[in-house]
Amino acid sequence: MRVVNLPAKDDVIRELRVGEPVLLNGVMVTGRDAAHKWMVETFIKKTRAPKDEDLYVYENLKKLLNGGVIYHCGPVVRKDEQGQYTFVAAGPTTSIREEPYQADVMKHFNIKGVIGKGGMGAKTLQGCQETPGVYLHAIGGAASYIAQRVNKVLDVFKLEFGVPEAMWVIEVKDFPVVVTMDSHGGSQHALVDDASKKVLEDLLAQPY
């Protein structure tokens, strides 16, 4: 089991290969559909003008995501009487919804890891090779266990998107993932897709 401390260096990322289990330590940021759309439209394609508070968030994200990880997660969060947040559940969200945005976001912010479930497509795989970066598969159905790997909620941005879509800044310890897309063009998801298509073709070719 390899331990990767965040932020991660390029040479560490290039050492990771498809199938390798990893424990992550450090700070990461959650982000789903609303966050990715907002980042691309406001700061990459610049199709909408940023608000003053957007610029503040952007400056923070540039520091947090440089060499860091973004996690496709819509957490269940509890707020105590002192106003402190705690993650109750933190399971991964299906990642393919971010396929139109992910490579651009990775390259713009120098993101080294994307965590989610279900894998991503060719555009993101190309982004992993160019940035470089990796796609990391988290454990589906283990939301409570994963939440226990979150030591502290450090901050939250874009809470107006709603709790699941907000960008939560979290500190994690021994956060378990598996590399399923690497910086060398390897993709476990592509292999599974190809194998599934072959099985389907064989089934359809059988006489009835």
Q: How many domains does the chain have?
A: 1
**What's the rounded mean pLDDT across residues 24-50?**
97
Structure tokens at 49: 């003008």
CA angle at 169 for the pair 57 and 181, rounded to the nearest 5°: 105
CA 32 – CA 137 distance, rounded (Å) = 15
Average confidence score pLDDT of the chain:
92
Which token pair is 207? Answer: 């006489």
**Quick check: 105 and 39 in contact, CB under 8 A?**
yes
| Residue bearing the bigger pLDDT, 14 or 202 | 14
- Residues with catalytic roles: 36
Tokens 């796609």 sit at which residue?
Answer: 135
Tens digit of pLDDT for each residue in 83-119?
999 999 999 999 999 999 999 999 999 999 999 999 9
Decide if pLDDT at 121 tops 90: yes
- pLDDT bracket for residue 154 (50, 70, 90): very high
- Range(s) of the domain holding residue 121: 2-205
| Beta pairing class for 21-30 and 150-157 | unpaired
Beta strand 167-181 pairing with 69-71: unpaired
**pLDDT at residue 208 in the model:** 62
The CATH number of whichever domain residue 54 belongs to comes to: 3.20.130.10
- The predicted structure's pLDDT at residue 140: 83
Q: Does pLDDT of 194 surpass 70?
A: no
In this prediction, residue 112 carries a pLDDT of 98
Is residue 188 within 8 A of residue 20, CB to CB? The reply is: no
Note the pLDDT tens digit of each residue in 166-188: 999 999 999 999 999 999 999 98
